[in-house]
Amino acid sequence: MTTDKDLSMDGQSAMAMFAAKGIDVTPNKDQGVVKVVKRQGVDGERPMMGDRVTVHYTGKLLNGKKFDSSLDRKEPFSFNLGKGQVIKAWDISVLSMQKGEVCTLLCKPEYAYGSAGNPGKIPPNSSLLFEMELLSFEGEVLTDDGGIIRRIKVKGDGYTNPNDGATVDVHLEGSCGGRLFDSRDVRFTVGEAEDKGVPLGVDRAMEKMQKGECCILHLKPKYGFGREGKPEYKVGPNKDLVYEVTLKDFQRAKESWEMDLNEKLELASGVKHKGNQYFKAGRFHQAIIQYQRIVSWLEMECGVGMEQQKRIQDFLLISQLNLALCFLRLKEFSHVVENCNKVIELDGKNEKALYRRGEARLLRNEFSLAMADFQQVLQVNSSNRAARAQISICQRKIREHHEQDKKIYANMFQKFAEYDAKVCRVFGHPTARGCSVNRTAHQLQCTM
């Protein structure tokens, strides 16, 4: 990054420099943001819309007065491109930069702070000078585990996105290790892309896309073809995938508030069946999507009359029990406990919920809590042999844990005793008390 001296020219000199060397980077070529490259960046790809970028910058008025600088704070600034988190000039100009590039920008008011200015710092209708260095950029992370990363090549239109149950028309190109294995137009229902050979990661990215958007998705195996791979595409197990996806059109599914209760109950039956199909096929992530749709529709409904209330409760119990079982298979034990707790709130003596919560707690090494759950199962059904077996396992685990603690403490005390004996030999104290005193004294001397 260059220094303040590089932005010390007056307004007239700045205009002359930008007129002679500047490049208009605005889409409309209206001279609203003009860039002069001061140091070329590293050859390669540039940031894309939605990327997380990190920059250093210094901003000045045309009279040379500095109003902000990340360098003065000694802390780079990060933001997501094209999300309206910064002034329009930055969203436009950073898209044109390469990693390591340093440039100077001349920004007209309509691309900066406009007629409002920034009280106390920037007067209304001010053109601004920025010097900026692009330090790094990376794609937008769409999942908590970093398994889906999106980079937007072409920004879409509008403000709506497909939702679960929406029908989407997309063009996709899938590649693995640089080899193109799939290129086609395809229509699928969001949440059911698996039925058309489209991986989970593409399905889950739909809810972030807009009509006309073209993006590149980097998928970890969990969101690709997993441990099985895809033999028909000659994709092996546990492979990272890259998909270029264009959302050509979509039709949103009705939201919960757009349906009456009877419509929700009618749809819930089909969605439950679809979830069960995915579960039996071992597609637990896809099954979770279906069961969660039912819960989102019905968890706030009360129903009219006993029969309708019972149907609602039955759907909720089944869906949340199945969610718990899916999460148990995926080893996401906190979600197992969460869904079992919801079932137990509705039915405090639900045998399956108590048992599955016990399983999750046992696998989280919460042996006492797990044993309490299995004991409650026996109170509900005294002939449940599996629960009795699990109680025995819990008791054994608790004993093993206690034995392990004893060994740890025994080893600790043994080491103290050996150290005391060693200090006694060094300092010649025959009593345990003398050894303890000198151990402390010796430790203090060593740390001085």
- Block mean pLDDT (10 aa), the chain, length 448: 52 74 92 94 89 96 93 96 94 95 96 94 94 96 95 92 97 97 98 96 97 97 96 96 98 95 96 97 96 97 91 97 98 98 96 98 96 97 97 95 77 67 64 46 38
CATH number of the 256-394 domain? 1.25.40.10
* Per-residue confidence (pLDDT) for residue 447, from 0 to 100: 37
Grouping H, G, I as helix, E, B as strand and the rest as coil, residue 111 is: helix
pTM, full prediction = 0.78
What's the maximum distance between 2 C-alpha atoms anywhere in the chain? 92
String of DSSP letters for 241-289: EEEEEEEEEEEPPPPGGGS-HHHHHHHHHHHHHHHHHHHHTT-HHHHHH
Q: Annotated active-site positions, please?
A: 57, 67-68, 87, 113, 130
Strand partners, 214: 154, 246
66-69 and 77-80 strand pairing:
unpaired
* Per-residue confidence (pLDDT) for residue 434, from 0 to 100: 46
* Per-residue confidence (pLDDT) for residue 375, from 0 to 100: 97
* Per-residue confidence (pLDDT) for residue 443, from 0 to 100: 43
Q: Are the C-beta atoms of residues 66 and 58 closer than 8 Å to each other?
A: yes
CA–centroid distance for 281 within its chain:
26
* Residue of 191, 132, 137, 200 whose CA lies nearest to 164: 191
Upper half-sphere CA count for residue 333 (Cβ side, 13 Å):
11
Backbone angles phi, psi at 233, to 5 degrees: -100, 0
**Domain topology for 148-251:** Chitinase A; domain 3 (3.10.50)
* Per-residue confidence (pLDDT) for residue 101, from 0 to 100: 96
* Per-residue confidence (pLDDT) for residue 446, from 0 to 100: 39
15-138 is classed CATH 3.10.50.40: yes
Range(s) within the chain of domains with CATH label 3.10.50.40? 15-138, 148-251
What long-range pairs does 314-319 form, CB within 8 A, spacing at least 24? Answer: 315/265, 315/268, 315/272, 316/342, 316/346, 317/343, 317/346, 317/347, 317/350, 318/272, 319/272, 319/275, 319/291, 319/292, 319/294, 319/295
Upper half-sphere CA count for residue 25 (Cβ side, 13 Å):
25
Strand partners, 53: 79, 137
* Per-residue confidence (pLDDT) for residue 6, from 0 to 100: 52
The rounded distance, in Å, linking the Cα atoms of 448 and 440 is 13
* Per-residue confidence (pLDDT) for residue 96, from 0 to 100: 94
